[in-house]
Amino acid sequence: MKKKHIAFVVNGLYGGGAEKVLQVFLAHFDREKYDITLINHREDEMSYEYYPADIQYKSILKSIEKRKSKAGKLWVKIFNKINLFIYNHFSPTLFRRLYLRDKFDVEIAFIEGYATRIVSGGYSGRKIAWVHIDLNISPWTDIAFRSKEEQTTCYSSFDEVVSVSESVKESLEKLYSRQSIVIYNPIDVEEIREMSALYTVERDKKKLLFVSVGRLVPQKGYDRLIPIIGKLIAEGFDFRLWIVGEGAERIRLEKLIREWNLEEIVTLWGNQSNPYPYIAASDVFVCSSRSEGYSTAVTEALILGLPVVTTLCAGMEELLDGGEYGIIVENEDEALLKGMRNVLSDRKLMSRYADRIERDKNRFSLERQMNNIYQVIDNE
């Protein structure tokens, strides 16, 4: 049987939940049926710690850092400037003809924005777009398109558009009048549990420990979570918060921690190649995000048995089964403050949520989600 050649097109290789989901995809894709090419809008260093060594890798924009000579660096600067000028001023079809002429059996824009626009201009046998966030709440993709009309036209060019949750699907269909299907993110449950047990992170077991995992960016809402922690400490509650992740907001968040005198309360752990021992060591996962699509971090916390306190974002009602596995509050500061106060005031509440999570611990199935993906690719 001839293998299908599948291309995944992305904006970057590392840093967010969508990239982690892609890593799970590629690690478990059926190599008997598919050859895989990963195409990155910008040139990142390929790490085989995260990506399989048997996939092909290409990039469009080139990295200046990888060129050693002055002539090489100058060539890359000129190449990238011309590339970006054509991207910004001409159609996706012309851009493809100049910079990515490959044709695949199936081509997948695995992230919104640049990758979606690039794939829309191609002529592969089947084109699929993946949408990971509520584009109504977080319309960051506007910078990747010349107009709202062009974005609508691009989505209409795809054979299938996949949303990662029902709320993402509803938002997409309303914005772009484009039907979508829902496929939840595949999660490698066994790997997460195994990695969580590789080592132990020490903590003070006498104090309740909240944990959050995510990039230090405005979307994740850590700038509002830290003042909430300060207010709860001022009310007399004694607990700790760990934040695992890195990003552009670090300096601002460190300043907030100092302003609220939380140096002994809040720990910024930075990027961790294995965040799961930090989650496993904690008591409650807190999500302060202003927007999400279908939170990988919350899913991983549930897999490791942690109850969740979260703002109302896309996918949370589905992940927490309407509140069976944690507390969902309105997406504003005072509601999150009250939700965390409830947790600190009633420890038995979290025990009840934890019991339900343990009872339903096998509800995340990697095999089922991978089969759903194959059906979309094979047009079944």
Note the pLDDT tens digit of each residue in 75-117: 999 999 999 999 999 999 999 999 999 999 999 999 999 999 9
Examine the domain organization and report whether 82 and 118 are in the same domain. yes
Say yes or no: 136 and 217 in one domain: no
Residue type, 18: A
State the average pLDDT for the chain.
92
pLDDT of residue 17: 76
User: What's the total number of domains in the chain?
Assistant: 2
Task: List residues bridging with 182 in a β-sheet.
Answer: 163
Q: Are both 245 and 341 inside the same structural domain?
A: yes
pLDDT band at 380 (very low <50, low <70, confident <90, very high): low
Say whether pLDDT at 127 is over 60: yes
- Taking 80 as the threshold, does the pLDDT of residue 362 lie above it? no
At residue 340, the pLDDT reads 96
Q: Which residues contact 44 (CB under 8 A, 6 or more apart)?
A: 12, 13, 14, 59, 63
Among 95, 110, 134, smallest CA distance to 38 is for 110
Half-sphere exposure of 104 (CA within 13 A, CB side): 27
**Count of CB atoms within 10 A of residue 5's CB?**
18
> 159 and 240 share a domain?
no
Do 175 and 35 belong to one domain?
A: yes
Q: For the CA atoms of 219, 224, 226, 230, what is the dihedral angle to 10 degrees?
A: -170
**pLDDT at position 368:** 83
Q: How far is CA 291 from the centre of its chain?
A: 11
What is the CATH classification number for the domain harbouring 226?
Answer: 3.40.50.2000
pLDDT reported for residue 369: 85
Same structural domain for residues 209 and 178? no
In terms of C-beta density within 10 A (0-12 exposed, 13-18 middle, 19 or more buried), how is residue 136 classed?
Answer: middle
Are 116 and 29 in the same domain?
yes
Averaged pLDDT for residues 15-38 = 88
The boundaries of the domain holding residue 348 are: 189-359
Same domain, 12 and 35: yes
Does position 361 have pLDDT exceeding 90, yes or no? no
**Type of residue at 245:** G
Residues 349 and 216 in one domain: yes
Flag whether pLDDT at 166 surpasses 90: no
Q: Are residues 169 and 159 in the same domain?
A: yes
CA dist list (Å): 253 to 5, 91, 226: 44, 40, 8
pTM, entire model? 0.75
* Least confident window among 149-158, 204-213, 370-379: 370-379
Does one domain contain both 163 and 24?
A: yes
DSSP3 helix / strand / coil % (the chain, rounded to 5): 40, 15, 40
The per-residue pLDDT for range 239-292, each reduced to its tens digit, is: 999 999 999 999 999 999 999 999 999 999 999 989 999 999 999 999 999 988
How many C-beta atoms lie closer than 10 Å to residue 323's C-beta? 12
Do 289 and 277 lie in one domain? The reply is yes
